[in-house]
Amino acid sequence: MKYFPVFIDAQHTHCLIVGAGEVAARKLELMLKTTAQITVVAPWVSDAVNELAKHPNVSLLTRSFEDNDLQAKTLVFVATDKPEVNQHIHDLAHSKGILVNVVDNTPLCKFITPSIVDRSPIIIAMSSGGVAPVLLRYIRQKLESVIPSKVSLLGEFSEKFREKVKRGLKSVTDRRYFWEEVLDGDIGENVLQGNASLAEKQLDDALTEYKAGNKPKGQVYLVGAGPGDPDLLTFRALRLMQKADVVVYDRLVSKDILELVRRDAEKIYVGKAKSNHTIPQEDINELLAKLALEGNRVVRLKGGDPFIFGRGGEEIQTLIAHGVDFQVVPGITAASGAASYAGIPLTHRDHAQSVTFTTGHLRDNSIDLDWPALAKNNHTLVFYMGLTGLPIICRELIANGLPDDMPIALIENATRSNQRVLSGTLSNIVDLAADAQIQPPTLIIVGTVVTLHSQLNWFGAQQS
């Protein structure tokens, strides 16, 4: 980060604004949202500044800037139309260790003012470092539309009971759990609906229960992370990732998605590389149960969907055996994501009236599938985990009746910025894949729908 985001205690801040035109008026209006003391100095004063200066926190000096105006100031905005004056004030303030902002001159800014969503006492501040102000306004508009104005009531409610909860619950972890349960549940909903008295009683009751040791049990959330693009996460998946104590994730979960996990959550990697299952599935199952029984909220983050070649069913059976509560959050499975981002419809009335998802995973150097049932026309086949077994897949499909010129596509790193799509036929795809050095994770699609890729491809990723 070029700019470190901090919030300054405005109650103990004395701000100097040099200049009194329209630009200075915007800074003055912003500072008047705080409790700071403000001094404005300028030889000429606009009507807007004159009106705002009627506020009791504002002192207006109608004269040119003098060096001693910086005395006892903690924050300075410079908004004059004289470059030499702006430079002088910047240099002088910087030499005194005073934060200074020369408006619309980023190199002369020791701090910048963020774009703000104000739901006091809840404040959201955003910055692009001065490089994309229009984009920042766009993001702010989006946030303004989704954050209810009444969220300020939750802030006030939390402030009112903060010390009481702190006295009652000594552990930081216990307090975090407690507040999350409060804000996510009926108490928070009653606050938002204006039922403050009922919410206060509920909080007192909940705090009593918590202090008595009647805390919520640990729980496991099996969350589908989708094929890789973080924009494909569900809202629910993101919410649970933000409240997890522990995240157990596999190799198919992208770094971009892991960035969305709560910062202080423990992250445990249990990934399986191609032909190298370093952690047995049974051990993963037991680990999830153990973590939950210790009182943690555990997110088991899986690439794709937990119930489509994700072994989610096996993990749940272990959780049930240990009496652990769980939830399942579906995700966009790899087949759907890869096909969509490659412009290959899995069904099309001119090409395929059905689709089969199957595993191409090798076991004892073979793939035990019902090849005669798979090798049929007007049908799409999707193979998960089939890159190592690609020669066997092609050989068996041809041997069981598919023509050797049947189209096939390999989709590497589906939905990600480095996605590659390699098209060929059953007879030549093995050599093409070797030449292109295709790597896992790669999904395989077989069928005449693959011929639509060149026409329908919209993602613009790398093609082969």
* Each residue's pLDDT tens digit, 86-119: 999 999 999 999 999 999 888 999 998 888 888 8
| Pair of tokens at residue 98 | 């005073």
For β-strands 246-249 and 58-61, DSSP reports them as: unpaired
Cα separations in angstroms, 256 against 231, 249, 251, 259, 385: 10, 13, 13, 5, 22
The contacts of residue 186 (CB under 8 Å, 6+ apart) are 202
Which of 337, 342, 371, 374 has the alpha carbon at shortest distance from 355? Answer: 374
- Backbone φ and ψ of 22, nearest 5°: -65, -35
User: What is residue 275's predicted lDDT score, i.e. its pLDDT?
Assistant: 52
- The pLDDT value recorded for residue 443 is 96
Cβ-proximal residues to 279 (8 Å cutoff; 6+ apart), any chain: 270, 271, 272
Return the active site residues. Answer: 250, 272
pLDDT at 276 over 70: no
| CA-wise closest residue to 343 among 458, 423, 228 | 458
Residues 337-345, mean pLDDT to the nearest whole number: 96
Q: Closest by alpha carbon to 301, among 401, 233, 365? A: 233
Provide the H-helix boundaries in 53-150.
83-95, 133-146
| Poorest-pLDDT segment among 364-368, 386-390, 409-413, 439-443 | 364-368
C-alpha triplet 352, 358, 362: angle, nearest 5° = 140
Residues 6+ apart with CB under 8 A from 457: 342, 343, 421, 463
**Model confidence over 35-46: pLDDT tens digits?**
999 999 999 999
Residue 183 pLDDT greater than 90, yes or no = no
Please determine, for residue 364, whether its predicted confidence score (pLDDT) is greater than 90: no
pLDDT of residue 272: 66
Predicted confidence at residue 461, as pLDDT, reads 47
The number of CA neighbours under 13 Å toward the Cβ of 23 is: 14
Element (H, E) at 161: helix 151-168
Provide, rounded to the nearest whole percent, the portion of the chain with pLDDT above 70.
97
- Mean pLDDT score of the chain, rounded to an integer? 91
Q: How many CB atoms lie within 10 A of CB 185?
A: 13
Spatial CA neighbour of 65 closest among 32, 24, 36? 24
User: Of 325 and 78, which is predicted with more confidence?
Assistant: 78
Exposed / middle / buried, residue 273 (Cβ in 10 Å: 0-12, 13-18, 19+): exposed
Quick one: average pLDDT of 403-411? 97
Residue 184: band (very low, low, confident or very high) from pLDDT cuts 50, 70, 90: confident
Residue 366 pLDDT level (bands cut at 50, 70, 90): confident
pLDDT tens-digit profile of 204-258? 999 998 888 777 778 899 999 999 999 999 988 998 898 888 999 998 898 999 9
pTM summary value: 0.67
- Flag whether pLDDT at 462 surpasses 60: no
Whole-number Å distance between alpha carbons of 373 and 439: 28
pLDDT at 140: 87
- Give the whole-angstrom CA distance, residue 63 versus residue 53: 15
Average pLDDT over residues 152-160: 91
In three-state secondary structure terms, 301 is strand
User: Among candidates 161, 229, 305, which has minimal Cα distance to 461?
Assistant: 229
Residue 315, pLDDT score: 95
Position 162 scores a pLDDT of 94
Strand blocks (E) in 304-463: 325-329, 355-359, 380-384, 407-412, 420-425, 442-446, 462-463
Q: What is the pLDDT of residue 264?
A: 85
Which residues have CB under 8 Å from 435's CB, separation 6+? none
Q: 445 to each of 356, 419, 429, 451, how far by Cα in Å?
A: 10, 15, 12, 11
- Pick 410 or 181 by higher pLDDT: 410
**3-class SS at 282?**
helix
